[in-house]
Structure 1
Amino acid sequence: MNPVMNTLDVVVADIGASIAFFRHLGLDFQVDPGYAEHAGCDLPNGLHLMLDEEKFTAMARPGWTRTAGSPPIFLAFQFDTPADVDAKYAELVDAGYTGSREPWDAFWGHRYATMLDPDGNGIDLYCPLPTAS
């Protein structure tokens, strides 16, 4: 039997703040009616993204604590144009979220920017740069 990786689970400090942030990126999280500390969002291609508050994670995994240091994860969102990357970055900064790296043209051929979600996770915004003919 081969297992199928179909879910990502992100631990967050405040589920409401995280849902509000990801709403700016077009994700529609549904809070679990049985556990207000847990929410999920179906993504394309059968992938499911979950958010679990720290206290929910600690209850489910006795002895768990959040470690200090760099962001534990990065999620990447692809856009259609470089202008879309710039606009979303500006929208998020204007909404009070923290930009980690302003939009720039990366040497690997993408327009790239990085935001931080309310828990300090890296959220990359990118699109392929048009190729010169």
Structure 2
Amino acid sequence: MKLQPSAVGIVVADMAASLAFYRSLGLAVPDEPAPHVEVPFGALRLLLDTEETVASFDPSFTPPTGEGRVGLALECDSPADVDTAYERLVGEGYRGHLAPFDAVWGQRYASVLDPDGVGVDLFAASS
């Protein structure tokens, strides 16, 4: 049996706020919120489900709390693009988690948080 990666799922408290965030990242996000939204995410799909949707099929569901449960990473074209994307997102009111820095592993790196506290890392190979 072979299992293929297909999607990454995130449970969201406010679908409209989450769609706005992921749209700000440049993803092809639909305009209208729905209880379940699928977004192209490279070779995968990003699946966003409201807490109510998950509770409808999982009676034991408890909404997650805290940061760091899921992490997403988006590669930028250049180190300067990491800085630009971070500043734009923070300027739009999203929470910065790690301001851009030159990581010891040879990348320009930063991290922002989506409306539910999911970390989205921005990175590019250092020049």
TM-score of the two chains, using structure 2 as the length reference: 0.92
SS at 2:90's partner residue?
helix
Determine if contact 1:77/1:123 at 8 Å carries over to the other structure: yes
Q: Percent of aligned pairs with the same residue? A: 43
CA distance in 1, matches of 2:36, 2:46: 11
Structure 1 match to 2:29 = 29
Deviation at 1:44? 2.7
Provide Cα deviations, 1:14-64, integer angstroms capped at 9, x if missing partner.
1110010011111112379xx92110112333x111100111111121110
Structure 2 match to 1:106 = 103
Unaligned runs of at least 5 residues, structure 2: none
**Between Structure 1 and Structure 2, how many residues are aligned?**
127
TM-score of the two chains, using structure 1 as the length reference: 0.88
Structure 1 match to 2:45 = 48
Deviation at 1:7? 1.2
Deviation at 1:68? 2.9
Rg: which structure is higher? 1
CA distance in 2, matches of 1:41, 1:70: 22
Determine if contact 1:31/1:38 at 8 Å carries over to the other structure: no
Determine if contact 2:67/2:119 at 8 Å carries over to the other structure: no
Determine if contact 1:31/1:39 at 8 Å carries over to the other structure: no
Unaligned runs of at least 5 residues, structure 1: none
Matches within 5 A, 1:1-133: 1-30=1-30, 36-45=34-43, 47-130=44-127
SS at 2:115's partner residue?
coil
SS at 2:34's partner residue?
strand
Determine if contact 1:24/1:92 at 8 Å carries over to the other structure: yes
CA distance in 2, matches of 1:67, 1:121: 11
